[in-house]
């Protein structure tokens, strides 16, 4: 539909290619103490060990600010952090006083 002369398009999430998602998951895997198996995935915000079916991949630089689907721009996080973070930027969400401090 057109509204005020502007073509309205449904904004779609850019689908993350599965090989990119797998690479990001692999880089953020948590191993058992004898390093023989993957026991979970790291939430880069609250540092929790998150089950595979609960882990999500988030953009450090969001796509609406020009961020792309390169692994360097992606971190794993738990569903609860992703919901709380919402549209805040990575460095807004990971505040000084939290685990992350910018030096």
- Distances from the Cα of 97 to the Cα of 61, 76, 86, 102, angstroms: 21, 21, 20, 10
**What minimum distance in Å lies between the beta carbon of 1 and Zn ion?**
39
Question: Which lies closer to Zn ion via its Cβ, residue 43 or residue 94?
Answer: 43
Q: Does 45 bind Zn ion (CB under 5 A)?
A: yes
Task: For residue 16, give both structure tokens.
Answer: 């993350």
- CB distance 96 to 102 below 8 Å: yes
Contacts of 59 (CB under 8 A, 6+ apart): 67, 69, 73, 74
Nearest distance in Å: CB 47, Zn ion: 7
* Nearby residues of 80 by Cβ (< 8 Å), 6 or more positions away: 46
Of 61 and 85, CB closest to Zn ion:
85
Q: Should residue 100 be labelled a site residue for Zn ion when binding is judged by CB under 5 A?
A: no
Minimum CB distance to Zn ion, residue 30 (Å)? 13
Instruction: Fill in the per-residue mask, 50 to 89: x = in contact with Zn ion (CB under 5 A), - = not in contact.
Output: ----------------------------x--x--------
Which residues are at the interface with Zn ion (CB under 5 A)?
43, 45-46, 78, 81
């Amino acid at each position: 539909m057109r509204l005020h002369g502007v073509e309205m398009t449904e904004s779609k999430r850019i689908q993350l290619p599965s090989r990119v998602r797998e690479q990001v998951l692999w880089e953020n895997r948590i191993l058992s103490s004898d390093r023989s198996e993957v026991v979970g995935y790291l939430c880069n915000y609250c540092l929790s060990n998150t089950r595979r079916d609960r882990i999500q991949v988030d953009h450090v630089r969001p796509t609406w600010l020009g961020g792309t689907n390169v692994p360097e721009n992606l971190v794993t996080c738990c569903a609860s952090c992703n919901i709380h973070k919402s549209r805040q930027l990575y460095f807004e969400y990971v505040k000084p006083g939290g685990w992350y401090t910018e030096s």
